[in-house]
Amino acid sequence: MIKERSQAIAPVRITEIVAAPLFGDSPPGGWSNEITPSDSIHTLIAVHTDAGITGYGSVFTDGRLTESAVAQLAPLLLGENALEPERVSEKLHQNSFWFGRGGTLTHAISGIDIALWDILGKATGLPVCMLVGGRHREKVQPYCSVLMEEPGEMAAVIARYREQGFRAFKIGWGPFGRRDDPRRDEAIVAAALTELPEGGKLFVDAGASDAYWPNGLKWALRTADMLAEHGVGWFEEPLVPDALEDFVTLRKASRLPIAGGEVMTRRQSFLPYLVRGAFDIVQPDVTKVGGLSEQRRIMHMAQDFGVRYVGHGWNTALGLAADLQLATAQPNVDLVEYIGGSAYVDGLLADPFQLDADGMLAIPDTPGLGVTLDPEKVARYSPQAGRLFSQTK
């Protein structure tokens, strides 16, 4: 008889955490206080280890805030075993309540957690999906996420990305709901619909987490009815994020699915919305919510409540890579968000994402997140790029 001998993987100790702000080509967000290309709203994270393995993650936060958060968290991280992402990330959450739970620190922990899962995958030779649930599918449909425009321009934007191979689209923010003009809102949606490919999908994001969102429940009820008449797939962020009771009322009355949750952090914030039936579709953002560790808990929790999960992905190539891994780790995840025309999605990887002939994205099956940053490309957008790829300690 041949005896099998199990051999534990030796600890992989964290030696350094690097935050590299991205700026220079930040895409507009449609916010009332608009983003400029020179603004930093996304930050890349590198976690270096004594085994020579580096993991990478992404944070949806101004780079200066992320750098401060990393400095605050570093004493809790250095020397820890990078092969225990859930334990290490929970340690960060538990020891940072007093410094702003749910804010910049939680966003920074998100990027660190993604990087730790990347390390665990690289150390074991497995894609992250195999570590967090398995592999239910080989590819998934991306929906191209673009800003609302005036009707004529809206049609042209959809046509442009349709020609690039996208078959599903989300339009949001911009002028929608901000002009007190329901006819204009409907004209924007109707224009987008004219350029969909055969069998194409359209989703609408009001963007009510913008500063001083002007509309309330009655606007959302009326607009949901209009969108349902046009066959829109879901209505996202139609109310300010904290309006739990209004979300419950809207979801019960609406003929189309109601989606939300992109600005919420940690699983505890989502629980009241799931218990009360506020969402048909829950949309945590892996670069804000607490990383892959929290995202997958919310994903499983949503499944238990019969709520659909579609991750919010208005971030970077690393955020999209994390979403792809989760999209195959659970049944019935059929969409991922893909920002149209973002340099931080299309211009950071050695091998950029490519749609197939059916408008689908292949889910990487190589170790970790399954993608590789290109140092020269990253250097175009971050002066800290060098430190992402080489240890200084």
Let me know whether 147 and 247 are in one domain.
yes
Q: Which residues pair with 285 in a beta bridge?
A: 312
In a domain, 6, yes or no: no
Written as tens digits, the pLDDT of the chain (393 aa) is: 444 544 578 999 999 999 999 999 998 888 888 888 998 999 999 999 999 999 999 999 999 999 999 999 999 999 999 999 999 999 999 998 888 778 899 999 999 999 999 999 999 999 999 999 999 999 999 999 999 999 999 999 999 999 999 999 999 998 998 877 889 999 999 999 999 999 999 999 999 999 999 999 999 999 999 999 999 999 999 999 999 999 999 999 999 999 999 999 999 899 999 999 999 999 999 999 999 999 999 999 999 999 999 999 999 999 999 999 999 999 999 999 999 999 999 999 999 999 999 999 999 999 999 999 999 999 999 998 999 998 775
Let me know whether 38 and 94 are in one domain.
yes
Say if CB 298 and CB 311 are below 8 A apart: no
Q: Which residues pair with 22 in a beta bridge?
A: 42
Let me know whether 353 and 258 are in one domain.
yes
Radius of gyration of the chain (CA): 21
In a domain, 295, yes or no: yes
Supply the pLDDT for residue 3.
Answer: 46
Let me know whether 165 and 302 are in one domain.
yes
Let me know whether 137 and 192 are in one domain.
yes
Let me know whether 33 and 170 are in one domain.
no
In a domain, 9, yes or no: no
Let me know whether 165 and 181 are in one domain.
yes
Give me the CATH number covering residue 268: 3.20.20.120
The residue to which tokens 């220079």 are assigned: 24
| C-alpha pair distances (Å), 231 with each of 58, 145, 200, 204, 225 | 34, 18, 11, 11, 10
Coil, strand or helix: which one is 238? coil
Let me know whether 112 and 238 are in one domain.
no
In a domain, 368, yes or no: no
Say if CB 202 and CB 172 are below 8 A apart: no
Q: Which amino acid is at 376?
A: E
Please give the sequence-ordered ranges of beta strands (E in DSSP) within the chain, or none if there are none.
Answer: 14-22, 42-49, 54-59, 139-147, 168-172, 201-205, 235-236, 258-260, 281-282, 308-309, 335-339, 361-362
Supply the pLDDT for residue 1.
Answer: 42
In a domain, 4, yes or no: no
Say what the alpha-carbon torsion angle 131, 136, 138, 143 is, to the nearest 10 degrees. Answer: -100
State the residue range of the domain holding 352.
130-362
Supply the pLDDT for residue 181.
Answer: 85
| C-alpha pair distances (Å), 5 with each of 1, 2, 8, 335, 358 | 13, 10, 10, 41, 46
The residue to which tokens 């939300």 are assigned: 260
Let me know whether 197 and 84 are in one domain.
no
Supply the pLDDT for residue 31.
Answer: 84
Supply the pLDDT for residue 236.
Answer: 98
Let me know whether 144 and 181 are in one domain.
yes
Supply the pLDDT for residue 393.
Answer: 57
Q: Please classify residue 200 by burial: count the beta carbons closer than 10 Å to its beta carbon, then call 0-12 exposed, 13-18 middle and 19+ buried.
A: middle
Let me know whether 332 and 216 are in one domain.
yes
In a domain, 94, yes or no: yes
Residue 88, CB half-sphere, CA atoms under 13 Å: how many?
Answer: 31
Domain count, the chain: 2
Q: Which residues pair with 281 in a beta bridge?
A: 259, 308
Give me the CATH number covering residue 107: 3.30.390.10
Q: Which residues pair with 335 in a beta bridge?
A: 141
Q: Provide CB contacts within 8 A for 369, sequence distance 6+.
A: 56, 114, 117, 118, 121, 127, 128, 318, 321, 322, 325
Let me know whether 184 and 226 are in one domain.
yes
In a domain, 35, yes or no: yes
